[in-house]
Chain A
Amino acid sequence: MAGAIQDLTSIRSRTRPRRATEESALVRWTLISISFLFFAAFLLLPLVAVFAEAFRRGAALYFKTFTDPVTLDAIKLTLFTSAIAVPCNTVFGVAAAWAITRFQFRGREFFSTLIDLPLWVSPVIGGLIYVLLFGSQGLLGPWLIAHHWKIIYSTPGIVIATVFVTFPFVARGLIPLMQAQGIAEEEAALTLGAKGWQVFWRVTLPKIKWGLLYGIILCNARAMGEFGAVSVVSGHIRGLTNTVPLQIEILYNEYSFAAAFALASLLSLLALATLGLKTYIEWRARQQLEQSQH
């Protein structure tokens, strides 16, 4: 009898002791399984399917897709749009974060909420508002026509719509970070004789750099992948106003499945790269936080 009890206790001490606040093993594994199944079904499988379809007709056809001039134009337009939208929203995001976390003014909370507007609004609306504003029947339509400026169904419209939908990312990455960091170091810099810009460049920027980078890569991922808003303003003019997401839709509707999926695999690679970078940045940010809290 004593021997049996001894055996039992030795078995139990060999398995991992349960932490006081942890659920039982059954609950834990159930939750983990459900999460993983969900992840596999909705994220992993589609990703694998994209690459499987892209290479269905062989690697040669896959790479040939990227030599098509219309496809290349789409890629160029996507890159161009991001190259404008991301820096714009970075500058705006930093300015907005600074204003919200460092100043006191009437309507501060409202402004902070307003920044998130593009996230709640349907992307289609994001495109429609600019058609209503700049389209030939729009508010500023006649004025633009008179000055020979084309915004809708042209590159400027696409850029503007992309700027709108990617508005909040940088600001949202920075605001909680800057609020948590406080202003002690910046005040110290002021007492040492640093002026506004110097304080920002030498003290604030190094502190927020990971949060800023995080916001920028999210902004970029969204800018390159945006469909709804851009679709409304672009006019889908082949070779001129098609971005990569739009071009994918066209190829698919023309039954060029392999080509469509080949292009889609490009966006998937972007998504994976973004995920990788994001994870790296989060790791570095955690390191930085741990170091400063010794």
Chain B
Amino acid sequence: MSIRIEDLSKKFEGQAAVQNATIEVGTGKLVALLGPSGSGKTTLLRLIAGLEFPDAGRVFFHGEEVTQKSAYERRAGFVFQHYALFQHLSVFDNIAFGLEVRPRATRPPKAEIRERVHCLLKLVQLEAFAKRFPAQLSGGQRQRVALARALAIEPRVLLLDEPFGALDAKVRKELRAWLRRFHDETHITSLFVTHDQEEAFEVADEVVILNHGFIQQTGTPGVVQSAPANAFVQDFLGLDFQI
């Protein structure tokens, strides 16, 4: 399930947040949107998810245009920086949510939902926590629940907005490695936003660098580091001056 965006633009109150963005994320790839604060990367992710509608441009999931579709129609799993877990629901109910809200016709029977949720809990290594509530979990555990919740709907793509931004350094490193391993197992097309270049280079297959709403460069970590496209990229990545 590939993602393609063509010429996407979005303004907020006269200020351009994203300008003429064109990206291609191949099926099964894990791509990082990297850039400083205010570069438009979260806006871009939200445009792809359907949480914002663009002023111009188009979004395609595996060739099918989804530009006019709203968030609940796109089936793009979204993981928020601050988890956005449902505080009043248990871990189990949080993960089952996406399945419970399906229309009667496509809703799986209760037993199947239970099985799927337990499968996901096992995947994120939180089997013992099914009955707990989000307030009783640590940051890293909450983020894993958020991930399991997004995966429950069998999303076409997975979008992560600074998934480890709210966690402390040690947990961040652990989850980073975990995410990479996880992606290698599941091969779900994923796009994640980060301002941490170490994270981007360690985890992603490809990196898209943004600044002021414009895409500066796209490429594998190796290419970007050895051949920065312009002064900004060079500066942002802290590379030595290369003639």
Chain A positions near chain B (C-beta within 8 angstroms): 184-185, 187-195, 198, 202-203, 206-207, 291-294
Proximity string of chain B (49-91) to chain A, C-beta cutoff 8 Å, 1 when within and 0 when not: 1110000000000000000001110011110101011111000
Q: Is B122 an interface residue (CB 8 A)?
A: no
Whether B80 and A192, one on each chain, are in contact in the complex, defined by CB atoms closer than 8 angstroms, is no
Q: Is B135 an interface residue (CB 8 A)?
A: yes
List 8 A-B pairs, minimum CB-CB distance, nearest first. Answer: A192-B98, A184-B84, A191-B78, A188-B84, A294-B135, A190-B71, A194-B101, A292-B87
B88, B136, B150: which contacts A206 (Cβ < 8 A)?
Answer: B88
- A291 and B88 alpha carbons, distance in the complex (Å): 10
Whether A193 and B77, one on each chain, are in contact in the complex, defined by CB atoms closer than 8 angstroms, is no
Q: Name the interface residues of B19-70: CB closer than 8 Å to any CB of A.
A: 49-51, 70
Contacts A184-B84, A292-B135, A294-B136 given; does A192 touch B101 at CB 8 Å? yes
25 A-B residue pairs with Cβ-Cβ distance under 8 Å, sorted by A, are A184-B82, A185-B84, A185-B85, A185-B87, A187-B51, A187-B80, A187-B84, A188-B149, A189-B101, A190-B51, A191-B150, A192-B72, A192-B97, A192-B149, A193-B98, A193-B102, A194-B72, A195-B72, A202-B101, A207-B87, A292-B87, A292-B135, A293-B135, A294-B135, A294-B136
Q: Is B167 an interface residue (CB 8 A)?
A: no
B70, B102, B149: which contacts A190 (Cβ < 8 A)?
Answer: B70
- A291 and B71 alpha carbons, distance in the complex (Å): 30
Contacts of B70 in A (CB 8 A): 190
- A193 and B150 alpha carbons, distance in the complex (Å): 10
- Is chain A's binding surface mostly helix, strand, loop or mixed? helix
How many pairs of residues, A versus B, come closer than 8 Å at their CB atoms?
71
Whether B82 and A187, one on each chain, are in contact in the complex, defined by CB atoms closer than 8 angstroms, is no
Whether A198 and B71, one on each chain, are in contact in the complex, defined by CB atoms closer than 8 angstroms, is no
- A100 and B70 alpha carbons, distance in the complex (Å): 21
Min CB–CB distance A77 → chain B (angstroms): 39
Q: Is B153 an interface residue (CB 8 A)?
A: yes
- A176 and B209 alpha carbons, distance in the complex (Å): 39
User: Which of B51, B70, B87 is the most central at the interface, judged by chain A CB atoms within 10 Å of its CB?
Assistant: B87
Contacts of B149 in A (CB 8 A): 188, 192
Contacts of A291 in B (CB 8 A): 87, 133, 135
Contacts of B98 in A (CB 8 A): 192-194
Whether A191 and B87, one on each chain, are in contact in the complex, defined by CB atoms closer than 8 angstroms, is no
Looking across the interface, which residue of chain B has its beta carbon closest to that of A202? B101
Contacts of B77 in A (CB 8 A): 191
Known A189-B101, A192-B98; further 16 A-B contacts with Cβ < 8 A: A188-B84, A188-B85, A188-B86, A189-B97, A191-B49, A191-B50, A191-B72, A192-B101, A192-B149, A193-B72, A193-B102, A193-B153, A194-B98, A202-B101, A294-B135, A294-B136
Looking across the interface, which residue of chain A has its beta carbon closest to that of B46? A187
Whether A203 and B51, one on each chain, are in contact in the complex, defined by CB atoms closer than 8 angstroms, is no
Whether A187 and B71, one on each chain, are in contact in the complex, defined by CB atoms closer than 8 angstroms, is yes
Contacts of A188 in B (CB 8 A): 78, 80, 84-86, 149
- A291 and B134 alpha carbons, distance in the complex (Å): 9
Whether B97 and A191, one on each chain, are in contact in the complex, defined by CB atoms closer than 8 angstroms, is no
Looking across the interface, which residue of chain A has its beta carbon closest to that of B81? A184
Contacts A187-B51, A294-B136 given; does A193 touch B84 at CB 8 Å? no
Min CB–CB distance B209 → chain A (angstroms): 26
- A187 and B79 alpha carbons, distance in the complex (Å): 11
Whether A193 and B51, one on each chain, are in contact in the complex, defined by CB atoms closer than 8 angstroms, is no
Q: Name the interface residues of B131-152: CB closer than 8 Å to any CB of A.
A: 133-136, 149-150, 152
Looking across the interface, which residue of chain B has its beta carbon closest to that of A203? B86
Contacts of B50 in A (CB 8 A): 190-191
- A202 and B86 alpha carbons, distance in the complex (Å): 9
Min CB–CB distance A281 → chain B (angstroms): 16
Min CB–CB distance A194 → chain B (angstroms): 4
Min CB–CB distance B95 → chain A (angstroms): 10
Contacts of A294 in B (CB 8 A): 135-136
